[in-house]
Amino acid sequence: MSGGSSPSSRRNSSNSLSRDLDLSSEQGCLSIVVLGASGDLAKKKTFPALYHLFDQGFIQSGEVHIFGYARSNLSDDGLRERISGYLKGAPEEELSEFLQLIKYVSGSYDSGEGFEKLNKTISEYEASSKSESYRRLFYLALPPSVYPSVCKMIRTYCMNPSSHPGWTRVIVEKPFGKDLDSAEELSSQLGELFEEHQLYRIDHYLGKELVQNLLVLRFANRLFLPLWNRDNIDNIQIVFREDFGTEGRGGYFDQYGIIRDIIQNHLLQVFCLVAMEKPVSLKPEHIRDEKVKVLQSVNPIKPEEVVLGQYDGYKDDPTVPDESNTPTFASVVLRVHNERWEGVPFILKAGKALNSRKAEVRVQFKDVPGDIFRCKKQGRNEFVIRLQPSEAMYMKVTVKKPGLEMATEQSELDLSYGMRYQNVKIPEAYERLILDTIRGDQQHFVRRDELKAAWQIFTPLLHDIDDGKLKAVPYQPGSRGPKEADELSARVGYVQTHGYVWIPPTLA
């Protein structure tokens, strides 16, 4: 940065247009309250996301104040020091300006004294702002077990005062229950305290750039409209792979397993965007209506179309029971009973301690009829949407190999974001979703009936696993996972390509 202007003036000049467009309907002072402020989620995700929104001019000094609330005995400066440790590389003057927006309140999560104190602190800021409208956003960076008591405290002590226009909104993190009954119980408890339009159930996968691109890709391009159906697509895989294990979180992970942790929420959200019909408009409720419809069209999962795995060494963690059947890997086939997708398997696959780290959607098309080039053995056309890392979209196509011979090989048509958008910062998911909450846009948040439909799909399977009716098979860390998973994919129609590897292009 050059010149003598302050950080805030530089942000104002560079972002005034985007702010006018995005937040023109939002007026008045904004109070953002992070409950669980001393925990890892808040320090690693929530506060850094708020800083980046501040850095880009979406929230500004004089318009917003941030309040941390937790049981820890901390001062304002104590919390600021903890947060600054996760904001390495931020310009010192800008970071200092951001940290001055943060105040800390200590209190318990189930008694009124702390929340009365929190409300008093917020009210003092609101009164000093001399604003006519008060907006209060509560981010629950807390375990779901305390959601009901904390939300009751917010409802009782900390709601936006009726004397001023504005709103109160609450962000809750997953997991939203462990099965259908517990999710419905939690939904009922929160529903007694807040209206649905006040609740924002956050799934950070819906904030990822390439996930947000799915609707544009499908419905803004004539190319895909006639292809996106059972006549042309043989199968679709939605894959999440990690190259590390539970790493000290074994006790926590063992309560949930890979299906609850990844597949039932993250991958199922991606599945909705891949499989849903075109919404009437881009209004959040129209989009969420279509997501619910496609979830309600999913057939019950067949036990023979499920493979569970547990990597060798998982139970070496002293916090994991010796007899644990919790899967660290799962491959599950979903089948949609509607006109577009009848007969097309959706393979949702997730695992830990595998040979690579990536998340992607892989749409595999049917074989070319009348294969005059006899290149079928080289593999099928595939459209791959790489969600992370190295965000990209590429189409695997068969081309003529350069040279004098009429020989074919597989190559790709490639849109790699790091190459195409070299000077564009791809925002973190939490930045986008917190900003959506401030705007009141619930498109990328999970609605109550959507949550219920998702749990209805997976609860019978999860109960069978919990009851020991389905067993996890062992697999080696650093492998592709259980060989049975590859066999299941082949059995339902997936054809693996051998000899072709997509290499992310680089600027080097």
3-state secondary structure 146-177: HHHHHHHHHHHHCCCCCCCCEEEEEEEECCCC
Q: What is the mean pLDDT of residues 124-152?
A: 89
CA distances from 144 to 36, 104, 140, 390, 472 (A): 12, 22, 9, 32, 27
Highest mean pLDDT: which range of 307-321, 383-397, 405-419:
307-321
Is 60 exceeded by the pLDDT of residue 12?
Answer: no
Most confidently modeled range among 204-213, 250-259, 492-501: 250-259
pLDDT of 236: 97
Any idea of the CA torsion for 469, 475, 478, 479, to the nearest 10 degrees? -100
- The whole-number pLDDT of residue 293 equals 96
Average pLDDT of the segment spanning 303-310: 96
In order of 210, 314, 436, 472, the CA distances from 323 in angstroms are 39, 11, 43, 11
pLDDT(254) > 50:
yes
463 is catalytic: no
The residue-averaged pLDDT of 196-216 equals 87
pLDDT at 14 over 70: no
Mean pLDDT of the region 266-276: 95
- Indicate the Cα dihedral angle 355, 359, 361, 364, nearest 10°: -10
User: For the chain, what is the radius of gyration of the CA atoms?
Assistant: 25
Residues in a beta bridge with 202 = 173, 445
Lowest mean per-residue pLDDT among 232-241, 336-345, 418-427? 418-427
Which of these is catalytic: 65, 266, 337, 463?
266
Q: For residues 246-257, give the mean pLDDT.
A: 87
Mean pLDDT of the chain: 87
Confidence of residue 20 (pLDDT cuts 50, 70, 90): very low
What is the pLDDT at residue 369?
78
pLDDT for position 319: 92
- Using the structure block, give the residue that is written with the tokens 């939690």: 186
The whole-angstrom separation of Cα 138 and Cα 160 is 11
Please report the pLDDT score of residue 74 as a whole number: 87
Reported as a pLDDT band with limits 50, 70 and 90, residue 25 is very low
Residue 53 has pLDDT above 60, yes or no: yes
pLDDT at 507: 56
Share of the chain above pLDDT 90, in %: 57
